[in-house]
Amino acid sequence: MAQQTEIIIVGGGIWGLSTAYHLAKFGQKGVLVLERNDEIAVETTPQAAGLVGQIRPSVTMLQAIRYALELFSQFPKETGHDAGLRQTGSLMVALTPERMEAYARQIERSHLNGIEADFVSHAEMARLAPTLDVTQIEGGYFVPNDGYVDPQQCARAYAAAARDLGVQIQLNTPVTGFRQRNGEILGVETENGFIASSHVVITAGPWGARLAKGVGMTTAAQPIRHQRARTAPTPGIPDHHPAVRVTDVSCYLRPDKGGYLYGFFEPTPVSINLEAMPADFRTRDIEPPVEVMAEAQRRLAPIFPILKNLEIAEYRHGMTTFAPDGAYLIGPVLGIDRLYLATGCAALGIAGSPAIGRWLARWIIDGDPGEDLVVFSHQRFGTRAADPEWLRQESEQFYANYYGIESDK
């Protein structure tokens, strides 16, 4: 007899696990997460930096990050599992007067939205990040309630809390297709057989769009390489050290495992065509980012000179997924009832995971996500989504200018 359940979530990364947790939290039974690997959250999730910053260009995303900070901070008390939030703030560093002007606009907008954010002195920046050479800096501002999480710890906390509420997680189960009839989802085909289900949610990260093509859907999601490096441990990093964004050189840095974790938005992005990759392609198969991280180090070294003398302890073979406008791609699959797709994390997958999980859970249970999410619609690009060259060029351009002054991120 075929396996049967009420809701199937395809993909055991942080978005899928958050969705499972929220469904169970809201009282939904019969939730099954299918993960193709032998562990949860081992693809793109652990490669992320896990930054949780409130400075966002839209009210929708600001509210999403507020919810993330609330959920992460209360998770240990509410569930008994620690999402690993370190709420040490964000330090936004400017190297040019033009950036300072942009930061002034960000601060003004932040105050209007009730976010605490203000310019700080060079002395205060040196206290917050002692290895920062403030003589090389024009100025900066501090957002004290921002933070960061360990992405894999956070995903495992979701999974543990979901399991406590009755969610089943099935590993080593690749999904190979979907079964439908008369415009209604019936379940999923796996390498281990068919599993019937009334609702299906695809949260497979960069692989989500490829899976959706199996039911005739085209969505504007472009996987792009995004790499990070972690240095060997070094003494003297204080517990209060914030996440630091050096937007003029498209870099960010935070403490991690006794050293520094830093990343870089490449000016010449490298897209990854998953259609051309073998079925068993994994994030670990991406080439180690030795040259890319050497460039990131060169960009950061004038203001963090300590990086010149620290060995690299770990390279993270990252991959993120962008829509041409940098907004999420979330919602029902057109023409198939009770099938949903969430992708396009746009380097904001960890911080957005609480809101993503809540929106999808409400969509399934209530038929409405609880907020106006038209800006995330899969259909917003029309027929252009089917043009791979247009999709690649537009998405790469957004990625390359992620910290551009006009974007105010």
Give pLDDT tens digits for 336-391.
999 999 999 999 999 999 999 999 999 999 999 999 999 999 999 999 999 999 99
CB-based contact 377:331 (threshold 8 Å): yes
| Local confidence band at 409 (pLDDT 50, 70, 90 cut-offs) | very low
pLDDT at 363: 98
Residue in the structure block whose two tokens are 């790499």: 227
User: Which whole-number Å values give the CA distances from 47 to 109, 152, 251, 338, in the listed order?
Assistant: 31, 9, 16, 31
* CA–CA separation, 119 and 110 (whole Å): 12
pLDDT at 66: 98
User: Per-residue pLDDT tens for 86-112?
Assistant: 999 999 999 999 999 999 999 999 999
Residues 6+ apart with CB under 8 A from 183: 335, 336, 337
Amino acid occupying residue 331: G
Planar angle of CA 57, 13, 290, nearest 5 degrees: 80
CB-based contact 360:14 (threshold 8 Å): no
* CA–CA separation, 159 and 167 (whole Å): 8
Beta bridge partners of 200: 8, 339
Segments making up each domain of the chain, as ranges: 3-67+151-223+323-407, 88-147+226-317
Planar angle of CA 284, 289, 291, nearest 5 degrees: 160
Average the pLDDT over 389-395 and give the result. 98
pLDDT of 245 above 80: yes
> Is CATH 3.50.50.60 what the domain over 3-67+151-223+323-407 is classified as, yes or no?
yes
* CA–CA separation, 289 and 183 (whole Å): 44
Q: To which CATH superfamily is domain 88-147+226-317 assigned? A: D-Amino Acid Oxidase, subunit A, domain 2 (3.30.9.10)
pLDDT at 279: 87
Sheet with strand 259-264: strands edge to edge:
118-119, 139-143, 90-94, 243-246, 251-256, 259-264, 228-231, 312-316
Cβ neighbours around 65 below 10 Å, total:
22
Residue 94's SS3 state is: strand
Residues 6+ apart with CB under 8 A from 399: 224, 226, 265, 266, 269, 320, 322, 326, 347
CB-based contact 143:110 (threshold 8 Å): yes
Could you tell me where the DSSP H helices lie in 261-387? 290-300, 349-366
Planar angle of CA 323, 324, 325, nearest 5 degrees: 90
